[in-house]
Amino acid sequence: MASGSALVRRYRRNLFAVTGLVALLSAGGVAVGMQIAGAAAESALEQSVQEVLLVQEQVLNGLMEKFRLLPNLVGRNPKIFNVLEDPSEKNIAAAQLAIRHDAAMSGALDIVLLRLDGSLLVRGTGVVTEPFEPTSRLLSAVRQGRLGRKAIQFPPNERAYAFASGLRDGGGSLAGAIAVLVDLANLEQIWSLSRLPILVVDQEGTILASNRAEWRTMPLEKVQNHTSGITEYVFEGEARAYVEMSRALPGLEWELRVLAEAAPIARARLGATAVALLAGLVLAVSFAYLMRRRLNLVQKSRTDKANSLRLERLVRDRTKALTLTNKALEQEVEHHKLTGSTLRKTQDELIQTGKLAALGQMSTALSHEFNQPLAATKSYADNAILFLERNRQREAAENIRLISKMADRMAVISRHLRNFGRKPKTRLSSVSVEAVVDDAIEVLSARLREQDVEITVQHEVPGVLAIAGHVRLQQVVVNLISNALDASEPVPANSVQVITGDAGKKVFIKVRDFGPGIAPEHLGQVFDPFFTTKDPGRGLGLGLSISYNIVKDFGGQLSGQSHPDGGAVFTVELESARAQEGQPAG
């Protein structure tokens, strides 16, 4: 015990020491990991922004370069000089048509012809409606012989960049200026393909163009904040941190800026923190696990010897008990096999006994069925002898034909009785339901005539095939019709109905009598062995029980109930042979 307690105390001291060491390592790992991950993420983000910035700078310069040369080209049109020399309505109209054509072909927002005081001499597309300030940077550059440049805004929200060059008359004097306006919306449409915010800021700090609509025409200071070295822009009412890259455009006196949200940097730092903490946790758990495992191994070694002896004794006892249990189970299995074999043999004998009992019940009718043809045969034979003695061969031949017919009749009856009485095969096959019903009625034909009962057979679907055994299914139908005949005796009912049909995957045989029906208290007992409502000596109560088990062996179901219009109806449901073969019934 003392040695075990010392091990536990040593384990706890080591655990505290390892926990402190892991905490220090985790703190250092978090700091270093955040710094490295943040720097790497920021570098990657800046590189991505720089690439976009270079591409958009080329796009912007290319677009503006195309329009920079346009004022000089448009100013060479003779129709422009004609207006300067003679500003008549005809010359103005001709110049306006030429200017509109040039604006449409170049994609300019508008092209206008200006006087030196800034008033409009000829308007192109009609976007510009107000005169230019004569002291504006645009016209001041023209007076100095340079290309004028200026960003212009028009109500309600039109923004353009204007290039202007001077026009001189025939004497070489400056007579006017022509200005080409570039629609900044075209530039924004190109930028809309980029997922990063892009904006252009002029010298006054106004955002002239951007692919973020809410920033356009806004002062930069209203959408930009600088806090703790972080650049934030207000977008959709929320201040967000951005990594910002910019490039000055001296020719346009603009600054092009491309932004990228700084969230990936924060996520990288957070991920590095999580990794460092997780690594520290894994390290601590690993050390704790190893120390605990060592402690467990030491403690376990002290009990292994005692446990091994106890386990050996337990295994020996369990093995002996399992051996005895196994032998008992083998004996039980053999007993169940013997019992099952005996039950099957008893059931087969009961089925055969039931058939012989049915034949016994029909013995009187069968005797009459055979005696009548025999008597007729004797009479026809005597008459045939007399006809032959009198040389009346035609009448003798007719009597001999009738004798042959009677013999065929008795052969049919004998064949049906032989088939009904023999032991059936157990193998299931495709059986014609119509043939089974016809054979059963043939077996009972004598009793039907004796009781003067009319049997009505209705085949709803012709050619119905069931999975069953012909002889055993015939016995079931014979039992059901026999019960229907027994039920018809106490009442003035002289009819039995047999209906067959197909219900998709099932086929059915219904036998209905017009007797008193089944009492409600007897519905749960009709298929029990030795249950009968017949008078003593009229039956053993095995017919329906045997029939139920035969149908069950076929994989089907036998049910009975009272019919709503009187009498009882018993239904045999079997698997359809055609459904198994995938063929339509009928």
User: Which tens digit of pLDDT belongs to each residue from 405-449?
Assistant: 667 667 666 665 565 555 555 678 999 999 999 988 888 887 888
- Judge whether residue 509 has pLDDT over 90: yes
Mean pLDDT is highest, among 143-147, 273-277, 337-341, 558-562, for 558-562
| Final residue before a domain boundary, out of 160, 188, 216 | 188
Residues 467 and 575 in one domain: yes
* Statement: residue 371 has pLDDT above 70: no
What integer pLDDT is reported at residue 335 of this predicted model? Answer: 80
Of 301-305, 355-359, 384-388, 527-531, the range with the lowest mean pLDDT is 355-359
Assigned domain for 349 exists: no
Instruction: State whether 554 and 493 are in the same domain.
Output: yes
pLDDT score recorded for residue 18: 65
What's the mean pLDDT in 369-378? 65
Q: Is the pTM here over 0.85, yes or no?
A: no
Q: Which parts of 444-534 fold into alpha helices (H)?
A: 445-450, 470-488
Mean pLDDT, all residues of the chain = 78
pLDDT score for 374 = 74
- Quick check: 229 pLDDT over 50? no
Q: What is the pLDDT of residue 293?
A: 76
What phi-psi label fits residue 217: left (phi over 0), alpha (psi between -120 and 50 degrees) or beta?
left
Number of C-beta neighbours around residue 78 at 10 A:
10
> Taking Cα atoms as reference points, which of 449, 556, 443 lies closest to residue 509?
556
Alpha helices in 89-152 (DSSP H): 89-106, 137-143
Q: What is the pLDDT of residue 234?
A: 72
Q: Could you tell me if residue 133 is inside a domain?
A: yes
Give the domain-ending residue among 134, 169, 188. 188
Under the banding of pLDDT at 50, 70 and 90, the label for residue 376 is low
Q: Kindly state the average pLDDT of the residues 551-576.
A: 92
Same domain (yes/no): 465, 512: yes
Query: In terms of residue numbers, what domain contains 280?
Result: 1-68+264-299
The CATH number for 574's domain is 3.30.565.10
Is residue 326 in some structural domain?
no
Please indicate, yes or no, whether residues 573 and 432 belong to a single structural domain of this protein: yes
Last residue of a domain, one of 129, 158, 188: 188
554 found inside a domain: yes
Distances (CA, A) of 535 to 204, 487, 489, 490, 515: 121, 11, 12, 11, 15
Asked if 111 and 97 touch (Cβ cutoff 8 Å), the reply is no
Q: Quick check: is 345 in a domain?
A: no
Handedness of CA 209, 213, 217, 223 (dihedral sign): negative
DSSP bridge pairs for 149: 163
If asked whether residues 202 and 132 sit together in one domain, one would say no
Residues 251 and 278 in one domain: no
Mark whether 470 and 515 lie in a shared domain: yes
Q: Which residue has the higher pLDDT, 550 or 16?
A: 550
* pLDDT score recorded for residue 490: 59
Quick one: DSSP state of residue 540?
A: -
- The answer to whether 197 and 259 are in contact (CB under 8 A) is yes
- Residue 232 · residue 20 · CB < 8 Å: no
Angle subtended at Cα 85 by Cα 81 and Cα 90, rounded to the nearest 5 degrees: 80
Is residue 463 domain-shared with residue 522, that is, in the same domain?
Answer: yes
Q: Helix, strand or coil for residue 507?
A: strand
DSSP state letters, 404-468: HHHHHHHHHHHHHHHHHHSPPP---EEEEHHHHHHHHHHHTHHHHHHTT-EEEEEESSTT-EEEE
CATH code of residue 85: 3.30.450.20
- pLDDT: which is higher, 425 or 100: 100
Domain shared by 461 and 528, yes or no: yes
Structure tokens that stand for 534 in this block: 């017949």
Strand intervals (E) in 42-173: 110-114, 120-123, 148-154, 158-168
Both 150 and 114 in a single domain? yes
How far is residue 530 from each of residues 331, 545, 546, 560, measured CA to CA in Å? 32, 8, 10, 17
Residues 226 and 254 in one domain: yes
Residue 351 lies in a domain: no
Domain count, the chain: 4
Is residue 543 in a domain?
yes
Work out the percent of the chain whose per-residue pLDDT is above 90.
10
For residues 205 and 585, the model is more confident at 205
Burial class for 468, CB neighbours closer than 10 Å (0-12, 13-18, 19+)? buried
β-sheet bridge partners, residue 429: 468
Write the pLDDT tens digit of every residue in 345-367.
766 666 566 555 555 555 554 56
Averaged pLDDT for residues 263-287: 69
- Output phi, psi for 555, to 5 deg: 85, 20
Statement to judge: residues 125 and 179 lie in one domain? yes
Q: Write the pLDDT tens digit of every residue in 315-341.
A: 888 888 888 888 888 888 888 888 767
Per-residue pLDDT reduced to its tens digit, 8-65: 666 666 666 666 666 666 566 555 655 675 566 667 777 778 888 888 888 888 888 8
Task: Check pLDDT > 60 for residue 161.
Answer: yes
Contact partners, residue 267, CB within 8 Å, separation at least 6? 41
Question: Which two structure tokens, joined as six digits, stand for 225?
Answer: 């904040």
Which residues 6+ apart lie within 8 Å of 219 measured at CB?
205, 206, 207
Which residue, 541, 484, 494, 552, is CA-closest to 518?
Answer: 484
What's the pLDDT at 213? Answer: 79
Range 486-503 average pLDDT: 80
Residue 362 inside a domain? The answer is no
DSSP category for residue 131: P
Q: What is the model's pLDDT at position 511? A: 94
**What is the pLDDT at residue 227?**
52
Choice among 101-110, 532-541, 564-573 with the minimum mean pLDDT: 532-541
Tens-digit pLDDT profile for residues 204-228: 888 888 888 788 888 888 877 765 4
Distance between CA atoms of residues 414 and 410, nearest Å:
6
